Amino acid sequence: MSKSFSLVLRMEESDSLTPKSRTNFTQILLESVNESISVALGRPITPELNHHLQAYIGLSVDEMQDNVDLLFSSLRDSFGIHGDDIRKMVVRRMYQKAGIPFYEVAGTHMIQYVHELKRKLTMIEYSIKP
């Protein structure tokens, strides 16, 4: 049984969103995954990645935002020991694209940062105060 953990990242006034901030979680996720894997492999692989996820994992591009846990576990399974590095790269890129500072906390799993970013972007999109 997995234990649910809620990561709360506190934003200071100086950590406000940058002018290039984006709030579309799906677009940020897709771009960050594609870019991170492309950097790791040294070439773009977007069509191959999409095919692999659909054919072997059963995850379409449209379903990624709702199945981030499955996406991240497939990165680990597909890339082995380097999967953790790719996942970290994805998370860092996501925060960069969203214009939100990323602070890694020891013992926190990368997937927790993704869920927290999704929550923050939803709040920003709907102008909800944290």
Whether residue 6 lies inside any domain: the answer is no
Give me 100's structure tokens.
Answer: 């939100």
Whether residue 40 lies inside any domain: the answer is yes
pLDDT tens sequence across 62-101: 888 899 999 998 888 888 888 899 999 999 999 999 999 9
Instruction: Say how far apart CA 48 and CA 18 lie, in whole Å.
Output: 33
CATH number, domain of 38, equals 1.10.1200
Domain that holds residue 57: 21-125
Whether residue 15 lies inside any domain: the answer is no
Whether residue 120 lies inside any domain: the answer is yes
* Domain total in the chain: 1
Query: What is the separation of C-alpha 121 from the centre of its chain, rounded to a whole number of angstroms?
Result: 12
Instruction: Say how far apart CA 61 and CA 43 lie, in whole Å.
Output: 20
Whether residue 95 lies inside any domain: the answer is yes
Q: What is the pLDDT of residue 67?
A: 92
Whether residue 16 lies inside any domain: the answer is no
Q: What is the pLDDT of residue 2?
A: 38
pLDDT tens sequence across 97-130: 999 999 999 999 999 999 999 999 888 877 765 5
pLDDT band at 6 (very low <50, low <70, confident <90, very high): very low
In one letter, which amino acid is 26?
T
In one letter, which amino acid is 48?
E
Residue of 35, 29, 77 whose CA lies nearest to 52: 77
